[in-house]
Structure formats: C-alpha cells, structure tokens
Amino acid sequence: MLSCNHCGKRPVEVGATCTDCGSASAPPFVARPSAQHRPATAADSPPESAASSSAECSTGYLHNGQRRTLFLAGLGILTALLLLLNGLLVVLTVPDPVGLLLSVLGALVPAAFYTALVLSVDSYEHEPWMTVMAAFGWGALVAVLFSGVFNAAQALLLGDAFAVFMGAPLVEESLKGIALLGLLLMYRREFDNVLDGLVYGALIGMGFELTEDMLYLGSAYVEGGLTLFGEEWLTRPVLAGTAHALFTATTGAAVGWGRARHGRGVLRFVVPVLGWALAVLQHLAWNIGGSLLAASMGEGVPSVWRLALQAALLLTPAFVTLYVISRVARRREHRVICEQLADEVETGVLTEDEYHLLTDERGWQRTLRAARRDGGRRRLRMQQQFFQAAAELAFRKHHLSQGEALKDGQKCSEDYHRAQLAAARSQLAATPHPSSRQE
C-alpha cells in the first residue's frame, strides 16, 4: 500500500480512493522513465497497455482486500477478547496499582528495545505492520494464555517438575510455532525466506516474553516490594529478555528455509520440524540449566550473577548462530534483488541509476538517511515505499522462477508491484529533491 498523494495520510491501494480527502491515489501504471530523471524520483507517462494490464492486476488485489475485511473484523473482535482475558490475568496477578504500572513499564521498555533490533535485521524488505502485529500479538495474547492453561494442567496431573522442565518447552514452542505456520499460510506473499522466518519467529517470542515478564515482575513486587522487583527486572526482561525470541527464531528460520524451497524435495517439510525440535531443546536446556546453576552456585550468589552466567552459556551461542544465519540470508536476498531486477532496466521499469542504487545496500541506507535528514518523515516514508516495492517485485519474480503458482486474483502480481514502483516514484517526484533546493 501507498500513502495518499494528496493528503499523505491513510495508506491506500494503488488506484483506490482515500477515505480522508476523497482523492484517488497514484494511478496504477508502469512508468517508462527517461534517461534524464533522477534515481527513484521521476516518472514518465505509461503506455496504455501497461496501464490496463496493471489495472486488471490491482482489481484482483482490491477484491482480495474486500474479502479480507470481514476476516479482519472478526480478528479484531477476537483480539479485543484476548486483550480482555490477558488484562484480567495481569490485574489479578498484580492487584496493587503501583506494582501493576511498574510491571507493565518494566516489561514494555526492554521489549520495545529488543523488538526494534529484531525489525532492523531485514534491511531490504520491511515487514508490513499487519504481519508484525499478528506475530507479536499471537505471542503476547494467544501463546501466553493457552500455555498458562496447559502448563497448569500438566503441573496438576504430572507434577511441577515435569511441567517446568519438559511440559513448558513442548507446549510453549508448539504454540509459538503454530503462529509461524499461520503466517506462512495467510501472508505467504510477505513470508519469502529464512530471514523473514527468523524475524517473525523472534517477534512471536518477544510478544510472549512481554506478557510473561509482566506477570513475573508483578508477582515479584507483590512478594518483595521494589527490591525484589528490581532484581527480577534485571534478571528477566534485561538479561534474559531475548530468550523466547531466540528459541522461536530458530523455528522461524527453519520454516523460512522450507518456504524458500517450494516444490524442491521432502527436506522442505523435514527441516521446519527439526527447527522446532531444536527450539524445544534450547528451551529445555535453559530451564534445566537455570536449576542446575542455582543448585551448584548456592543460595549466597545473587540471582543477577547466576542469570548473567546462564545467559552467557546458553543464549550467547544461539544469538551468534542466528546472527550468522541472518547475515548469510541477507547476502542471499541481495543476490535475488540483483538477479531479478536486472531485466527491469531493459524494459524501462527502472533506470540504470535506480538499479545500481537498489543493489547497493550501503547506498540504500545512505539514501534513507538523507531522505530523513533533508525531507523529514514524509520523504523517508516515500523513499521506503519505493525500495519496498522494488524488493517485493524481486522476490515475487524469484518465487515465480522457482515454479510457485499464484493464487486467484494474483495472476498479474508482477505488474502490480511495477505499478507500486511507478506510484512511489511519482510521489517522490512531486516532492522537491533535497539536492535541488536553493542554498
């Protein structure tokens, strides 16, 4: 989606009407840029055939958007109910107003910091807010709530030791993994590869961590006041605040690997299961390792030091491994963009300067920083939309080249992304380029 050309507010589909100002959005066409315009800023008038082809394409997407409206309405009602249930759980756990406020803020601030780091991993293609919220919300609302129910049942039937050391890793990683499968089925166009899976998995884990930390911090305040609250805050949200994110990112990376190998062998089904099993083992090792360290170090050692050692031994290897995987996946994304956008220069969709910019990661980042510095958030958003449309076009072409079939309503999806490129370029052209300003 692109922001309205006239008011710049609400995101709208290409060719749709803005509900804020009533104006039509950027027209759905593929521009044939001239050799004289700046990279990613200007556009020429399109041929009528390209306009009609893209219009047909956008019609299919709009139809899909209308069908999603009822689904999203139902999802909104379900989300409100889950928010209410989780809110009641937190309030009942922390009946003290001061403790409630401290537990919410104490969990929210580290979670926001770590979530921002997760979202910065994929510099080529930013995930849509809908999928980001779906992933985070599942972890924070659904996985936590049902995990609590299943873990309580396990503790009642099989004992606390089994529930903590065996039951919790199995239940929690399974419930978080279900969200990854749901995202793969419902938002397949936004779930391209290993890096996307890693990001979505980490977001699900961060959502889970947020709600769980609220409960632990609130209980600590009720039991021991600010002193115990401070110790719990350092040990859980700060030192161990990425634990669930790392576990589920392992599952997500494996699911993303399988998604990228569409139609190529049985391993695309086996590897996601192995990734989930590895996440369960990581979670189990974390729970057992904490108990073993506590027993071996004795009661005289502060819990902060114990958690710091536990994180260094058990979380650092997972973090380093996933970081290496993310770097390899980013290089793979770069190759896909270079390969799939090359022929867009020949057909006139991109200029050579635009292609060189789009295939230069450092140049990409410099351009975004310059847009933010010289044109504010509005120009930054428009520049991001241009880059996003180019990346989505590249990944869509890549999937098609691998033999992936398109669903109904997406038969012209390449032209749709080309239309988004043209519309984003038109918006950039309508705003004076920073370098053209008079000193």
Identify whether residues 309 and 368 lie together within a single domain: no
Identify whether residues 333 and 355 lie together within a single domain: no
In the structure encoding, which two tokens stand for residue 226, read together? 């600010």
Instruction: List the beta bridge partners of residue 17.
Output: 24
Instruction: List the beta bridge partners of residue 3.
Output: 11
* % the chain with pLDDT above 90: 31
Nearest C-alpha neighbor of 190 from the set 150, 132, 235: 132
Average of per-residue pLDDT across 3-27 = 49
Q: Is residue 14 part of a domain?
A: yes
Rounded Cα distance between 304 and 227, Å, is: 13
Average of per-residue pLDDT across 235-256 = 93
Identify whether residues 278 and 327 lie together within a single domain: yes
Q: Is residue 87 part of a domain?
A: no
Dihedral sign (CA 5, 116, 370, 195)? negative
Q: pLDDT class for 77, splitting at 50, 70, 90? A: confident
Q: Is residue 382 part of a domain?
A: yes
Q: Is residue 76 part of a domain?
A: no
Rounded Cα distance between 168 and 175, Å, is: 10
pLDDT at 286: 93
Q: 250 with 318: CB under 8 angstroms?
A: yes
For residue 214, what are the domain limits?
94-338
pLDDT at 37: 39
pLDDT in tens, 354-406: 888 888 878 888 888 888 887 788 888 888 888 888 888 888 888 888 777 66
pLDDT at 358: 87
Q: 44 CB contacts (<8 Å, ≥6 apart)?
A: 31, 32, 33, 34, 37
Identify whether residues 381 and 257 lie together within a single domain: no
Q: Is the pLDDT of residue 42 over 90?
A: no
Identify whether residues 280 and 363 lie together within a single domain: no
Identify whether residues 217 and 191 lie together within a single domain: yes
Q: Name the domain boundary from 293, 313, 338.
A: 338
Tally of structural domains, the chain:
2
Q: Of the given ranges (3-7, 156-160, 418-422), which has the lowest mean pLDDT?
A: 3-7
Identify whether residues 235 and 294 lie together within a single domain: yes
Identify whether residues 151 and 43 lie together within a single domain: no
pLDDT at 208: 95
Q: Of the given ranges (18-22, 201-205, 258-262, 422-426), which has the lowest mean pLDDT?
A: 18-22
Cβ neighbours around 126 below 10 Å, total: 16
pLDDT at 252: 95
Q: Is residue 438 part of a domain?
A: no
Q: Is the pLDDT of residue 119 over 80?
A: yes
Q: Is residue 170 part of a domain?
A: yes
Q: Is residue 81 part of a domain?
A: no
pLDDT at 65: 56
CA 148 to chain centre: 25
Q: Is residue 297 part of a domain?
A: yes
Give the pTM.
0.79
Identify whether residues 314 and 384 lie together within a single domain: no
pLDDT at 20: 54
Q: Name the domain boundary from 303, 338, 373.
A: 338
Q: Name the domain boundary from 310, 338, 366.
A: 338
- Give the 3-state secondary structure of residue 294: helix
Identify whether residues 101 and 23 lie together within a single domain: no
Query: What average pLDDT is seen over the chain?
Result: 80
